Structures are given as C-alpha cells and as structure tokens.
Amino acid sequence: MTGLFTKLGLAAGLALVTATSGLAQDLPKNLRVVIGSTSTGGDTYQAASFVADAISKHFGINAKVDAVGPTEAFKAIARDRRGTTIMIHHDQSYLGHLYGVKGYEDIFATYKIGPTLTINPGNAYLVPKKSPYQSISDVLDAAAEGTRVRVAIQPGGVSEIGFSALKNAAKIKKPGSEKNLVPVNTGSQADKDQLLFDGQADVINGSVQSNEQYTRLPEDDQKAMRFIWLTAAQETLDQVNEAGLGGTSREALLQYATPKSSVTLDGEKDFTFDKDFFIIYNKDIDPALVEAIDAGLKEIYAEGAIEKSMKDAFFVPHFMPSKEATTYLEKKRDDYRKVIEAIRE
Amino acid sequence: MNFTSFPRVSINFETSHLVFPTLISILLGILLLAILATRWRAIWGALTTGPHWPAGIDHLRFFGTIALTVLYFLAMPQIGDLFPNEGYGFLIASIPFLFLMSLLYLHQRTRRYIVITAVNAVIAPTVVWYMLSTVFNLTLP
Amino acid sequence: MDFLSLITPLFLVLILCGTMIGIIFGAIPGMTATMAVAVCLPLTYSLGLENGLALLLGLYVGGISGGLVPAILLNIPGTPASIATTFDGYPMTQRGEGESALKVAIFASLFGGLFSLVVLYLFAPALADFAIQFSYVEKFLIIFLALTVMAALSSSMLIGIFSGVLGILVSLIGAYDVSRGGNGEYRLMFDFMEPYLSSGFSLLPVLIGVFALSSILIEAEAGVPENAGARKIALDQGKKFHLSVFSGQWKNLFRSASIGTFVGLLPGVGGSAASIMSYSQAKAFSKNPRSFGKGNPAGIIASETSNNGLTGGALIPLLSLGIPGDATTAILIGAFTLQGIQVGPLFIGDNLEIWNAMIVAMLFANVCMFAIMYFAIRHIAKIVTVPKYILLPIILMMCVVGSYTINYGIMFDVWTLLIFGLFGYLAYHIGLEIAPFVIGFILGPSAEIYFLKSLESFGTVSIFFTKSWIAVVLWVLIAISIGLSVWMSRSGARHHDET
C-alpha cells in the first residue's frame, strides 16, 4: 500500500504546483510549438526555433519546437483551444489546399492566422551549367518554339508554385506553349539534384542555400549548376545581407530575380513568391493570448537581435501582427489561386 | 500503369499511388495460394481439430497485460491534458501501471517483493520523466 | 595543423559526453541516434560550431552503437539499423554467451567506424561523384537486393517471402508520400482512418511492437516464469570471449564495413538496408551458411560492422554534396546552417579546419564508444539477471516513451506499438515470420518510390537491366542471393526428409 500512498501524494503535490503556477494570466508556462515539417534540419525548424527562443526569453516561458509534420501539427492545434499549442508553418499550409493535396484544409476558415515572422528568400530554379538556357526567358522562349522542357519539382506546394507561374507565363506568351513545360514530380532536394545530374530534368527547383556551392563548380563538373530564376520579390532580396550567401553576392542574386529575370503574372506585373513563415492558432483561441504574442513579438523585433540572427542565416525578418498578416496572406492566396486556376486543364 | 507495348510502360501520376500496392497485393495473393496449395493439409488439420485458442495459457497475466496496457494508453493523454506540456500524464499514469504490472507478474507476493515493486514503480518513471522532460526537453504525454 | 588549436579539453569532454549519451539513447528501445542528435541540436547554438559538432558526432557514433545492447541481450533492436544484430546476437545470449556477443559486436562496431572514417577522410569527394551515378534505377536494385534476404532468413522460404511481402504491403498504407515525390493520395485504408493513418504507421513503433511488446505478451501468456538460478548460471557458463573469434573474419569485416560505408553514402537508401545486406552477403559467402541465425558471431560482425560503417559513409554526401546520407546527418545540416556554414561540394576545401576537427572528433568518438562500452559490458550484461516482474514493465514503459517521442509527440504512435505487439503475438502463433515482415516494412516505401520513379523517368521496364554496368553488377548479386536461398531451402528440405 505504500506505493499507492506515495503516488497519491505525488499526484496531489504535482497538481498543486501546476495549479498555482498557472495563475499568471499571460502565456502558458510551457508552450508547444508544432511545425508543419518533420525535419529538424530544414528551414521551418530553423525559423520556428528563432521565434521560439525569442519568445521563451521575452516571456520567461519554455517554448519548445516539435517537428511533427503538417497533418499532426494541424491536429494538435485543432485539439487545443487553450493556446498551449501553436503552429508555425509557411505558404505550404494554404498552397497545399489550393493544389488539392490530401490532409490540407482551408486554413483561413479552419484556424486563426497569427503574425508573420520571417521570409526565406532562397526559392530558386537552376539548370546545368552547360545548359543552353541562359535565363528564365530562354526557357519560356524554348517552350514557345515547341521544345519540351522538363522541370523537377516536388508537387503540391511551395516547390510547384514557381513552376505553375512559369506555365502561366508561357500561356500568356503563347497560348498552348505551357504544355511544353512538363513537371518531373519528385521529392527531396537530393532527388531533384540527382535528376539534373542524370539528365532526366532540364530545370530543377532548388534553393540558394542548398545549391549555391554547385553554381561555383567548374563547368566540366557533372554537378555544376547555374541559377536562372529566384522567385523572391526585389524588396525582399534588397534586405538580404550585402555579402549574399557563400560566393554569391546580393548584387549577383538580384540578377536572377524580378525585374531583371521576369516571369509575368498577368502580362504587366511580374510573378513573385516569398516563402513566408507565420503562426497558426486554434480557431477559438483566447484573443488576449493572440494580442499578447503580437505585442511580445513586436517588442522582440524592435530590439533587433532576432533580425541579426535571421539575416546571418539568410532569412529576411518580416513581422506583421495577426490582423495585417491575415489580410496579407489572404491576398497572396488569392493571387496564387488565379495562377493555378489559369493553367488548370 | 499501361502495359500496351511491353516493355514500355507509362505511368499516370494521378493514379500512381495505386500501382505498387496493386502489384504487391497480386504478389501476396499468389504467395497465399502457393502456401495453401503446398500446405493445405496442415492448415485444414489445424483449423478442424486442434483448439482454436492455445491451451494452458496464463489467462490472468495475458489478458491482464493487455487490459492494463490499454488503460495506461487511454489514461496518459487524459491526465496529460490536465497539465499541458508538462509530461505529467506520462508520470502519473506510469507509476500505477508499473506497480500493477509488477504485481501481476510477481509469483510470491511477499511484503518484501511488494516494497521492491512499489519503490521501482515510483523511481523508474520519475527518473525517466525527469531526464527526458526536464533535461532533454522532450515532449511527453 | 591550425585545427589542432581547436582541440581543447572541452572539445574532448564534449565528444565523451556525446558518445555516452548517444549510447544510452541507442540502447533504449525506441530512442535512436537521430533523436539524440535532435534533442541536443539546440545546445550547439551556444557551443559554437566545432564544439557543437564534437557533441553531435559523439551522439551520432554512440547512438548508432548503443543499439546493439538490447538487440543482443533482449532481442529488441535498439535502432532499426541493429535489426540484423538480433538474428545471431540473441541466440548467443540464450546460450549464455551474451557478454561474449556484446564484445564481438563492440569490436566490430569499432572496426566499422574506423574503416568508414578512413574512407571518409581519403576518398570523400571521389565517392560523392560515384554516388551520383546511382539514379532511381540503381537505388531500386539496391533495395531489391536487400529484400532478397527475406527468403534466406526464414525456416520456410515460402512463408518468409509471404511475411516480407505482407510487410511491404502494410508499409504502403496511408498517403503516397509527397515529400518523396508521391502524389499524396491515400490507399489501402478506409476514410475513417484518415486522421490517424494519413502518413501510415511509423517505423519505430512497429519495430518495437513486433519485437518487444509481442515478446512481453508471449511471456505473459506463459505466466512470466522466473528462474533466477538458471539465469545466473547461464550468464557465467557460456564460452568466454576471445579475439580469435575474428580470425578468418577479415573478409567479412572488410566486406561489411564497405557495404555499410557505401550504402551510407547513397542518400535515401537508409541504414537498415546496410546491415541487412551485409548480413545476407556474409551468409552467402560463408562456408557454413546454415549456422547463421543460430548464434554465429559472424552474423553479429556483419551487422555491427556495417551499421557503424554508415557513420562515415553518411557524412560523405553531407560534406561533399550538402546532401544528408541518412536521417541523423539530415539534422547535422541544421547545426551547420545555424552557424552560417554552408555545406555543399565546396565545403571541404573552404573549411579545412572544421573538416579536420570533424575527422578528429569522429576518431575520438569511436575510441570513446569502444572504451565506454567495453568496460561497461560486465554491468550491462547483468540486465538479463534483473527479475522479469521488474524488467518487463520497465521495457514496456520505455517502448511507450520511445514511440511517443520518436515523432515528437504523437499518441497514435503509442497505439501503433500495441497494434503491432498484438500482430507480432498472433504472427508467432500462426507461424508468420517477424524478421522478413519488418524488413519488408522498412524497405517497402523506398522500393515503391524508386520502382515507380524509374518507370516514370525512363518509361520502360527494360531500363532495370540496361541502365548501367552498376545495374548489371547488382543483378548478379541479386541472382547469387536468390540462388543461395533456393539452394539452401532445397537441400534443407532433403535433409529434413532424410531424418
């Protein structure tokens, strides 16, 4: 019976401790930050840990990032109305829905959108260094002339949206030519790179971070690549450190982005895609909590330390409080919906 | 998958999720038929004669293990939900679970063994909880 | 020799700590090297890159090695890569040679780790260029080769293959993974299962379910007999370990270490394939293949040499292509990027100091791993003398912790443990084979993706034979592996008839 008493006593003691510590009515003492990625080496984890660390310090709480992946992350915040679990994800969360990927709902209807946090400006398209395509307009020209161009992407989201924009631009340039841009559906960055090495793709989706060193290899190396397009907006790239990344300066990166490398959205404006990271809450979360996090983040970003660490890691800080963020992301969603619908066969 | 001009095949990406499961299911079916064909006597014999449930098993310990495990799994998230993200669900549910399981498996339930069991039931989950939840900052139920 | 200034006492202490923590993580069923590295990753921000890497590499080497302990002593693979260690390790423990088996495994691990380190140091860029010759087609054939071991593992070839194919089918449940290039559509399940099974059953809970929970159920069914006297004798009675076990094993050591290193450097193929393949190759080339699976130290040597061979191998694509070779090195990338260091084809040339420091860290981690495990063995091996009424509930609790934490807190993974524990129990009674089932389950998703993507890219089945000379070599190995299984099962049947 001793065991029973010990355990009852322990349970009661624990209950008392938590009950009293829960009295302070701001942020939960233990905040679980779930992310829509299962990787702890990827950009989502990195972005989330910048923010979780800053929130932990600012509010004196323990915020912990759990890489549970999109399905489980959505489930976790759907269950938790108290706001002890929040989610950090990027544009995939609504692009997945636009592309009709299983497991993605309309986040604007099902959840509450929190503040935006940061942008990864690195989304890029590359060709082998020996490729005849010198720029993204060469690719569009080739498609218009009837050449089949194979583009390796991961379907159903962030990796596909640039490809959809390319098809859209090809259609505007010469209706019907978008059929010459064919997707090679694949998975990880390694798989996309491999398709380029094998000659099974002419263009691949990649990123400045993971592919920059390949662009510095000599041309006779089978692995050598060349950037032809960055999807980030000019304003975004302008905020990147001047040194850029690795051996490629900001100046050089800007050559591959709009307006110098242009992929049109509607014949006038250029298409851009900035990969935004933002918080997603349970629909019924206490508005006071949303306010508190907005206010806290505002102070954190004003202090500037987070800005430096983000920029060092090739992220662009981009804080917008919840309300503005919702409008901003809805606008983004509407733009991309148009692109995706325009090329739907 | 379209086999019209073998060995050339074309795969439609939209339905490609069914190709491999179909191939594997067919293979599994063939293997099942092969097993039935070669061993139908033994299988038929086992189905018609022998007892359907292994005889002479320890019903209390076997079903007790399953019942306690199910209860344990059900209780953990429920208790944990009372103290969000603290891992107490694991801690509070594990102590009685460990105690009862050990009690179930004990053959001589003397005072000495029960004390050992109880001490173990308190210490083991507490150490695990402390190490994982506090030191390594892992999420527990 | 500038990098020598990086090697401070702190650097060495961190490697030692990392290795120790890694071994503990690896030794707990369900906790893996990957998890050890993931939980310690945040610590590296404050440590700086070299010291952070020292800790993480220690964790990596320790975590991969620790898996051998429960595999040998409890028949539970501590990590997926140690599954083949159970085949011969546990029979040795049952014979009372647990301690000896552990020592064999530790020597083998050390050899595998050092071998792959030398390869990493001398040939990293060249091997990375070789690795990119492996397209979907060759990767499919590698997986296929690893799958052929199913036939050789079981007492009945037909039942073994059936169990393995069933494992593949179960692994396909859920979405056709978008992140690996699938279309994200669900298959093999009903709509109501969607919230739980959208990404299928996770590997680790399945693995420890069929190995650990099912054996607890089988014990419970037998009434959890305690036999303390017999156990004590068993621990002391077995053959003592002697280095002579390794004489005549040089070929096995080098072959297994090479397979481990090589599979490690192929992104996406995975560590479990390496140890399974080494095991089957060791069996295929052995003079006495029938003794495998009954406590032959050569089986442990094959498995453990190759899974430690992975450590150096998986770092090759990471450091010379910027592509992680396995799940653990995928997390290491985070350590680099957070410190603002780019990994890619120019990494080694641009960061010679870090590169050298990493090599030293790996070397020291392997030595620490060996020292810690070798001297702790006497105590570790005593785990089999803990009475079952204490041991079994604790194992069950640790399996729960492992299942829950492996994907950072998913309750369904805990239920998966129970589902597959019951499945393992039933399989035991109706005569299905667990090891082929698990191998099929582990390799199924890779087999699917590489098979389909090969056909999608090339549009013809004949590509599997005509892609490259590598494909032809792999077919030869596959033929040897299948031929051997058929021969063994034939002569086994004849042997059976005669008696």
CATH number of the domain encompassing residue A111? 3.40.190.150
Q: What is the largest CA-CA distance in chain B?
A: 78
Contact at 8 Å (CB) between C83 and C435? Answer: yes
For residues C286 and C256, give the distance between their C-alpha atoms in angstroms, rounded to a whole number.
13
Q: Are C171 and C442 in contact (CB under 8 A)?
A: yes
Round to whole Å and give the CA distance between C406 and C83: 17
| Three-state DSSP state, A281 | strand
User: Are A202 and A322 contained in the same domain?
Assistant: no
Distance from the Cα of A339 to chain C's closest Cα (Å) equals 20
Cβ–Cβ under 8 Å, residues C14 and C58: yes
Domain boundaries, chain C: 2-498
Q: Hey, which residues 35-54 in chain B have their CB within 8 Å of chain C?
A: 35, 38, 54
Contact status, residue A256 vs residue A207, Cβ threshold 8 Å: no
* Domain spans in chain B, listed from the N-terminal domain onward: 2-48, 59-135
Q: How far apart are CA A27 and CA C389, in angstroms?
A: 43
What is the reported pLDDT for C30?
Answer: 73
Mean pLDDT lowest for which of A89-103, C103-117, C317-331? C317-331
Q: Do B65 and C216 touch (CB under 8 A)?
A: yes
Query: Is the confidence at residue A89, as pLDDT, over 90?
Result: yes
Average confidence (pLDDT) over A239-268: 94
User: Sheet holding A316-320: strands in order across?
Assistant: A62-66, A30-35, A85-90, A275-282, A111-120, A316-320
Tell me if B17 and C183 make a contact (CB, 8 A cut-off): yes
What is the nearest CA distance from C453 to chain A, expressed in angstroms? 8
Chain B: nearest CA to A124, how far in angstroms?
Answer: 24
Cross-chain residue pair C397–B106, CB shorter than 8 Å? no
Task: Give residue A316's domain range.
Answer: 28-120+274-342
* Residue A22 scores a pLDDT above 60: no
Residue in A68, A210, A245 closest to C409 by CB: A68
Cβ neighbours of B86 in A, within 8 Å = 18, 30
φ/ψ of residue C469, rounded to 5: -65, -30
Helix (H) or strand (E) holding B32: helix B19-48
CB contact under 8 A, A7 and B88: no
Q: For C25, name the nearest residue in chain B, comparing CA atoms only.
A: B132
Residues of chain B in contact with residue A66, where contact means CB-CB under 8 angstroms, are 139
Predicted local confidence at residue C2, as pLDDT: 63
Q: Give the count of Cβ contacts less than 8 A between chain A and B.
A: 56
* CB-closest option in A15, A18, A64 to B137: A64
* Contact: B141, C392; criterion CB under 8 Å: no
- Strands A62-66 and A225-230 turn out to be unpaired
With an 8 Å Cβ cutoff, are C166 and B139 in contact? Answer: no
pLDDT tens-place string over residues A183-192: 999 998 999 9
Q: For residues C52-69, give the mean pLDDT.
A: 94
* A331 vs A327: CA distance, rounded Å: 6
pLDDT at C208 over 70: yes
Q: Do C38 and A184 touch (CB under 8 A)?
A: no
A12 pLDDT higher than 60: no
Paired tokens of C375: 């001297």
Asked if A159 and A249 sit in the same domain, the reply is: yes
Q: B84, A185: Cβ pair inside 8 Å? A: no
Q: Report the residue of B129, B138, B139, B140 to disrupt the C interface, i.e. the one with the largest count of C CBs within 10 Å.
A: B138
B112 has a chain C CB within 8 A of its CB: no
Which of C190, C192, C206, C187 is CA-nearest to residue C83? C206
Percent with pLDDT over 70 in chain A: 92
Kindly state whether residues A79 and A202 are assigned to the same domain: no
Q: Indicate the residue of A46, A198, A223 with minimum beta-carbon distance to C337.
A: A46
**pLDDT the model gives residue B4:** 62
Cβ atoms C56, C277 nearer than 8 A: no
Flag whether pLDDT at A206 surpasses 90: yes
Q: Which of A3, A10, A30 sits opposite B118 (nearest CB)?
A: A3
Q: What percent of chain B has pLDDT over 90?
A: 64
Does A85 contact B99 at a Cβ distance shorter than 8 Å? no
Locate the chain B residue with the closest alpha carbon to A67. Answer: B139
- In a domain, residue A193? The reply is yes
pLDDT tens profile B24-53: 999 999 999 999 999 888 888 877 776 666
pLDDT digit string, tens, across residues C223-279: 888 765 555 545 555 667 788 888 889 999 999 999 999 998 888 777 788 888 899
Say if residue C103's pLDDT is above 80.
Answer: yes
DSSP A215-238: GGS-TTSTT-EEEEEE-S-HHHHH
Percent of chain C's residues with pLDDT above 90: 53
Residue C389: predicted pLDDT: 92
Least confident span in A147-156, A235-244, B130-139, C38-47: C38-47
Q: Which tops the pLDDT comparison, C472 or C383? A: C472
A247 lies in the same domain as A303? no
Question: Cβ separation of B141 and C409 shorter than 8 Å?
Answer: yes
* Radius of gyration, alpha carbons of chain B: 26
| pLDDT value at A342 more than 90 | yes
Quote the CA–CA distance of C172 and C195 in Å, as a whole number.
Answer: 16
Count the neighbouring beta carbons within 10 Å of the beta carbon of residue C239: 13
pLDDT in tens, C32-47: 888 889 888 888 878 8
Residue A247 is assigned to a structural domain of this protein: yes
Burial of B2 from C-beta contacts in 10 A (0-12 / 13-18 / 19+): exposed
Q: pTM to 2 decimals?
A: 0.90
* Residues in B touching A80 (Cβ below 8 Å): 84
The backbone region for A34, taken as left when phi is positive above 0, alpha when psi lies in -120 to 50, beta otherwise, is beta
Question: What's the pLDDT band for A41 if we cut at 50, 70, 90?
Answer: confident
Bond prior to A259 in cis (omega within 30° of 0): yes
User: Does A3 have pLDDT greater than 50?
Assistant: no
Q: What are phi and psi of A310, to 5 degrees?
A: -65, -45
H or E stretch including A328?
helix A322-342
- For residue B31, the chain C residues in CB contact (below 8 A) are 158, 161-162, 165
**Alpha carbon distance C306, C159 (integer Å):** 27
Other beta carbons within 10 Å of C10: 13
Residues from chain C contacting residue A214 (CB–CB below 8 Å): 344-345
Report the C-alpha gap between C130 and C473 in whole angstroms. Answer: 15
- Tell me: do A38 and A94 sit in the same domain: yes
In sequence order, which residues have a C-beta less than 8 Å from that of residue C129 and are 6 or more positions away?
A: A222, A223
Q: Are A136 and A125 in contact (CB under 8 A)?
A: yes
Q: Are residues A131 and A232 in the same domain?
A: yes
| Interface contact flag, C217 B62, Cβ < 8 Å | yes
Residue B3 has a pLDDT of 61
pLDDT of residue A144: 96
Q: Tell me the three-class secondary structure of chain C, residue by residue.
A: CHHHHHCCHHHHHHHHHHHHHHHHHHHCCCCCHHHHHHHHCCHHHHHCHHHHHHHHHHHHHHHHHHCHHHHHHHCCCCCHHHHHHHHHHHHHHHCCCHHHHHHHHHHHHHHHHHHHHHHHHHHHHHHHHHHCCCCHHHHHHHHHHHHCHHHHHCCCHHHHHHHHHHHHHHHCCEECCHHHCCCCCEECCCHHHHHHHCCCCCHHHHHHHHHHHHHHHHHHHCCCCCCHHHHHHHHHHCCCCCHHHHCCCHHHHHHHHHHHHHHHCCCCCCHHHHHHHHHHHHHHCCCCHHHCCCCCHHHHHHHHHHHHHHHHHHHHHHHHHCCCCCHHHHHHHHHHHHCCCCCCCCHHHHCHHHHHHHHHHHHHHHHHHHHHHHHHHHHHHHHHHCCHHHHHHHHHHHHHHHHHHHCCCCHHHHHHHHHHHHHHHHHHHHCCCHHHHHHHHHHHHHHHHHHHHHHHHHCECCHHHHCCHHHHHHHHHHHHHHHHHHHHHHHHHHHHHHC
Tens-place pLDDT, residues B94-129: 999 999 999 999 998 899 999 999 999 999 999 999
A70 and A193 assigned to the same domain: no
Which residues of chain B have a CB within 8 Å of the CB of A185? Answer: 13
For helices A2-21 and B111-129, angle between their N-to-C axes, nearest 10 degrees: 20
Give percent of chain A with pLDDT exceeding 90.
85
Residues A133 and A233 in one domain: yes
ipTM of the predicted structure? 0.94
CB contact under 8 A, C397 and B94: yes
* A7, A10, A84 ranked by CB distance to B84: nearest: A84
What's the mean pLDDT when you consider all of chain C?
88
Beta carbons of A3 and B83 less than 8 Å apart: no
Considering only CB atoms, C169 lies closest to which of B10, B21, B140, namely B21
Overall domain count for chain A? 2
pLDDT of A16 reads 44
Q: What is the structure's pLDDT at B135? A: 86
Q: Average pLDDT of C361-378?
A: 93
Chain C residues touching B57 at Cβ < 8 A: 221-223
The length of chain B, given as a count of residues? 141
| DSSP assignment letter at A245 | B
